[in-house]
Amino acid sequence: MVFKMIASGILITIPTIATAQAGPVAEKSDAQIVCELTSDCDAFNQELATRDQGEKRALRFDIPQGAKKKVVPPAPGYSAPKPRTVAVAAAKPRIAAPVAQSQAGRSTLSINFASGSAAIAPGSRAQAQMLATALKAPSAAAKRFIVGGHTDSVGGREYNLELSKRRAEALVQFLVDNGVERSRLQPEGYGFDKPVAGMSAKAAANRRVEIVKID
């Protein structure tokens, strides 16, 4: 597939590589994945606190100095009010809240694959690596997980079921290649049989990978 753009009389042809985009799930750090899968959120809370402090340091306001105001002397007989002392309570330190545990033991990841293929898209390899790092964390290292592939309902059921299985197996192989024991991983493909709650089976959010703790 190519796209053609005409700008300033110049014809530009840009080749594109089709990828099967996942649903609108933000990329997660290994600490966040560990928190969601094991409820060990210490590292992720520290990550949130550090991120919050960085954002505060980044907020800087440069106020230009204007011309000095002309000082007007007080009117005759004017008496300035006495200053009032107001007690101000010390500000309490802000503590980052842990991830909500309504889905404890489950993490949904945005890992894309080439369209109609089980090849992990280059742009998703960093997220897959984060998953590998998370599964090797001390709090997750002794546990087993289902690696589940999900699709939307575009296309036939049998096609999507087979595709989701191949993608789950491909992700498992990537994790094994990056140091996770195969015995801890169970690949499963669900096609579009398990759409996101409250969404149509055709919704883009159904194109996702879910990691679920078994024990």
Residues 6+ apart with CB under 8 A from 139: 34, 38, 40
pLDDT over 80 (residue 4): no
What DSSP letter does each residue of 108-156 carry, written as one string?
A: EE---EETTS-PBPGGGHHHHHHHHHHHTSTTTTT--EEEEEE--SSS-
* CA distances, 46 to each of 12, 27, 59, 187 (Å): 47, 18, 20, 32
- 34 confidence band (pLDDT: 50, 70, 90): very high
Instruction: Please state, rounded to an integer, the average pLDDT across all residues of the chain.
Output: 80
pLDDT over 50 (residue 93): no
- State the pLDDT at residue 21: 47
Domain ranges across the chain: 18-42+95-213
Which residues are registered as beta bridge partners of 198? none
Measured in whole angstroms, the distance separating CA 181 from the mean position of its chain's CA atoms is 25
Residues 6+ apart with CB under 8 A from 71: none
pLDDT tens-place string over residues 187-204: 999 999 999 889 999 998
- 25 confidence band (pLDDT: 50, 70, 90): low
What is the Cα–Cα distance from 135 to 174, expressed in whole angstroms?
12
Tally Cβ neighbours within 10 Å of residue 32: 20
* Span of 15-19, 80-84, 109-113, 161-165 with lowest mean pLDDT: 15-19
- 62 confidence band (pLDDT: 50, 70, 90): low
**Architecture per CATH, 18-42+95-213:** 2-Layer Sandwich (3.30)
Over residues 131-137, the mean pLDDT reads 98
Nearest one of 105, 104, 111, 106 to 164, comparing CA atoms: 111
pLDDT over 90 (residue 26): no
- State the pLDDT at residue 190: 96
What is the Cα–Cα distance from 74 to 88, expressed in whole angstroms?
31
- State the pLDDT at residue 13: 41
pLDDT over 70 (residue 33): yes
